[in-house]
Amino acid sequence: MKDSVVQHFKSSGHLDRIFVDGEWVLPAGQDRASVIDPSTEEPVAQIALGNAQDVAAAVDAARRAFATWSVSSPKSRAELLGRVHSLILERAELFAETISLEMGAAIGFARSTQVPVAAEHIRVARDIVGSYAFLTHRGDTAIVREAIGVCALITPWNWPLYQITAKVGPALAAGCTVVLKPSELSPLSALLFAQVMRDAGVPAGVFNLVNGNGPEVGAAMAAHADVDMISITGSTRAGVLVAQAAAPTVKRVAQELGGKSPNVILPDADFARAVATGVAAGMRNVGQSCSAPTRMIVPRERLQEVERLACEAASKFVVGDPRSPQTTHGPVANRAQFNRVQEMIEAGIAEGARLIHGGPGRPQGLERGFYVRPTIFSGVDSQMRIAQEEIFGPVLSIIAYDSVDAAVQIANDTIYGLGAHVQGQDLAAARAVAARIRSGQVHINNPAWDGHAPFGGYKRSGNGREYGLEGFQEYLETKAILGYGQEETA
């Protein structure tokens, strides 16, 4: 599996290229970056990195293409997205194996989740543009929704394809043209996606890809005067830097940033189910999800039961080679993240939280690779670092509450507000708690993922929304044409 993926990229000729104006071209930049297999800590490929000159070329191509793409019919845009959707599904196994190689996702998880939900973003965008009313009337005034322009898109390494499609799909559906900068730590799936776009027949300049790092390529995209909007998914620190670079040109900035999501288990919940699913949700994708519910907030009188159930759930995980079908959790994605998770586990111990499962270091029998022991702390105080800072690894904090009001207060006691969970059998009570939590998305009793549900944050989790209708509308401007409906005069 690994060798065949590596060979595919070597034979493609795309590792030393960027995709600009419909062609695979050599970048002006001379820098290279190694792609590291996180299961072995060894390089598997090298990619070419672009620079500010490459960004300028890509933006120029996108600007030229915008003149025609923005006025193309919604039907033609939907048809293109339909072809993109079909090609992703046709190449799903290659995408899954590539994601597993570049960021360590267990192959079963890559196949069942990483790739299918990424394809769904394209399908949702296709369906929305097919029926969206770009012109409506309010008396004699016409309200017109028009593509905002050239969009620069910055995506992260944790859900590499999923975050690309969540931005590219609605942007193209709206009539925008794009320049994409994927994470240089997981760039291979982005190269596959660029080839899908070409094979689907995307017009030259409508989609462009420039690999590169944040300080060089990301900063150039944010500052470029001909970029009308920049959308970033990443850390809060990175989002601040992008907003600062974008400010002088007053472009639209959409940010999906960090999180520290609560999971409030109400006293009437089915604890056996709620705790097990809560642990699974918090540690899905090895905890590398900005909305992962990593704070489990539980009734104090049920704390011992919760601890037992949580440890039982975590003990069923199989941590190991991401290419093994038996593995549920591969390594974290890179060395910096491994070091961060280890630091935060040590911080939890130092602050006096009770370590009830896992702990520092690699799991037994895994001597190399960025593997982390699924770790659970109890007796956590809301002011501890492990309860306040985004860890981005399989580390769960159990926090006890004495009343539902106290549970809501704990849930909101964070600078973030991206996601939240509420568990309870009394739906009216669960809905009431959900309404009081300050976050952009709340899940009641672990519902199925919904690609139409808008996603985004309150507070320092960002601004703007992705997914569904609201995510599509982020890429539109609003124009009012007064007098549009008046009768013509001779």
Domain shared by 144 and 293, yes or no? no
Question: What pLDDT shows up at residue 217?
Answer: 98
Instruction: Please report whether residue 418 resides in a domain.
Output: yes
Instruction: Please report whether residue 282 resides in a domain.
Output: yes
Residue type, 88: I
Pick the catalytic residue from 176, 290, 307, 390: 290
Instruction: Please report whether residue 408 resides in a domain.
Output: yes
Query: Beta strand 150-154 with 177-181: parallel, antiparallel or unpaired?
Result: parallel
Residue 372 in tokens = 């982390």
Domain shared by 313 and 443, yes or no? yes
Calpha distance 80→171 (Å, rounded): 13
Q: Where are the alpha helices (DSSP H) in 333-467?
A: 335-350, 385-388, 404-411, 427-436
Domain shared by 69 and 199, yes or no? yes
Query: At 17, phi and psi to the nearest 5?
Result: -125, 160
pLDDT tens-digit series, residues 5-24? 999 999 999 999 999 999 99
Q: Which helix (H) or strand (E) holds 64?
A: helix 52-69
pLDDT tens-digit series, residues 276-314? 999 999 999 999 999 999 999 999 999 999 999 999 999
Instruction: Please report whether residue 144 resides in a domain.
Output: yes
**Catalytic site includes residue 151:** no
Question: What pLDDT shows up at residue 487?
Answer: 67
Residue 486 in tokens = 């008046």
pLDDT tens-digit series, residues 418-427? 999 999 999 9
Domain shared by 212 and 300, yes or no? no
Query: At 484, phi and psi to the nearest 5?
Result: -60, -35
Instruction: Please report whether residue 486 resides in a domain.
Output: no
Residue type, 89: L
Domain shared by 206 and 322, yes or no? no
Instruction: Please report whether residue 150 resides in a domain.
Output: yes
Q: Which helix (H) or strand (E) holds 341?
A: helix 335-350
Question: What pLDDT shows up at residue 29?
Answer: 85
pLDDT at 489 over 70: no
Instruction: Please report whether residue 456 resides in a domain.
Output: no
State mean pLDDT over 18-31. 96
What confidence category does residue 394 fall into, taking pLDDT thresholds of 50, 70 and 90? very high
Calpha distance 271→276 (Å, rounded): 8
Q: Which candidate, 122, 129, 98, 131, places its Cα nearest to that of 12?
A: 98
Domain shared by 377 and 408, yes or no? yes
Q: Which residue has the tokens 């006293």?
A: 267
Calpha distance 86→154 (Å, rounded): 24
State mean pLDDT over 343-366. 98
**Catalytic site includes residue 256:** yes
Mean pLDDT of the chain: 97
Domain shared by 156 and 233, yes or no? yes
Domain shared by 252 and 281, yes or no? no
Instruction: Please report whether residue 311 resides in a domain.
Output: yes
Task: Count helices and strands (H / E) in the chain.
Answer: 17, 22
CATH at 331: 3.40.309.10
Domain shared by 399 and 291, yes or no? yes
pLDDT tens-digit series, residues 39-51? 999 999 999 999 9
Pick the catalytic residue from 216, 256, 390, 466: 256
Calpha distance 393→388 (Å, rounded): 14
Domain shared by 137 and 276, yes or no? no
**Domain around 312:** 262-450
CATH at 63: 3.40.605.10
- The domain tally of the chain equals 2
Domain shared by 230 and 354, yes or no? no
| Neighbour count for residue 481 (Cβ, 10 Å) | 13
pLDDT at 324 over 60: yes
Domain shared by 266 and 246, yes or no? no
pLDDT tens-digit series, residues 105-135? 999 999 999 999 999 999 999 999 999 999 9
Q: Which helix (H) or strand (E) holds 60?
A: helix 52-69
Calpha distance 385→38 (Å, rounded): 26
State mean pLDDT over 353-382. 98
